[in-house]
Amino acid sequence: MAPSEQSWVPPNRPAGIPTTTPDMPPATSTPARRYGKIQDEGAIRQRWLETPTDPTCQIQPSTLTVDDLLIARWRIHTSYNNIPFQVAENAFALGYANRAVYKQTLTQNHAGGELGLAGCENMYDILVGKGLIIAEAMFRSDGPQFSQIARAYMQEVAEPQSLRHFYVCDIVNIDTKRFVEKVLYSSRNDLTWPPVCTAPLIWEYNTPEYQGLLGTRIGKCAVYLVLEIFPRGTYYIARIVTWDENCSFEIRFDIEPIPASLGSTG
């Protein structure tokens, strides 16, 4: 299926986000280890994005298409909608259109018959537009990864390498929620959950908090999405933005070209 034209406004950097990314390659600047194993996992994935020669990364560019899903008998329902309210204000500040021009697809099928999976359901609710992927739901028991399916839908409306922002709404993943609500938003960072301040918090590249978030299940999904769209060592997650919307956790990953000096770490 060929990509269709999509209404598009080039994103503007909102107030509060610096105009340059800290140029701190891990080879010369290693963040303090504040969050244990989950930060270690994030540091590994940070390295995968930056270093095309790292032999521990096995993630390859995805070739999955929507036609492949149809052949595999996934149930697919598509409509055009506005950006979900939970992240709308944030996305509009980046320049995305406040109109129902984004392709939203609910994708479902039942898991295979392996022990413990039979009868479970795989479900993804994904909204895409040029530069943008928003996940409203992702539940996987088996089959393709979220990142592969999201890239396939992105390809239907725009070149996947136009991706600059990846949002996840109302996160319910236990691993990610536990880290955010019990560890990240805690007294050790002079924060609480729910937060007293409703303004989004920006977690800069190559900090302990950034690495901790990359080490969560949702953070790993973001890393795999970048690795399956861009050649390794060309684009990375420049920063992660988090906030609370009615006691629900929202997150945004900013995807940018790797600075020249950072790209030389491989």
The pTM is what?
A: 0.87
Location of structure tokens 């070209």: 257
Distance between CA atoms of residues 105 and 10, nearest Å:
23
Taking only the tens place, the pLDDT of each residue in 52-88 is 999 999 999 999 999 999 999 999 999 999 999 999 9
Q: Token pair of 114, please?
A: 């392996």
Distance between CA atoms of residues 255 and 239, nearest Å:
8
Taking only the tens place, the pLDDT of each residue in 143-155 is 899 999 999 999 9
CA 84 and chain centroid, separation: 16
Please state which of the ranges 34-38, 112-116, 197-201 shows the lowest mean pLDDT.
112-116
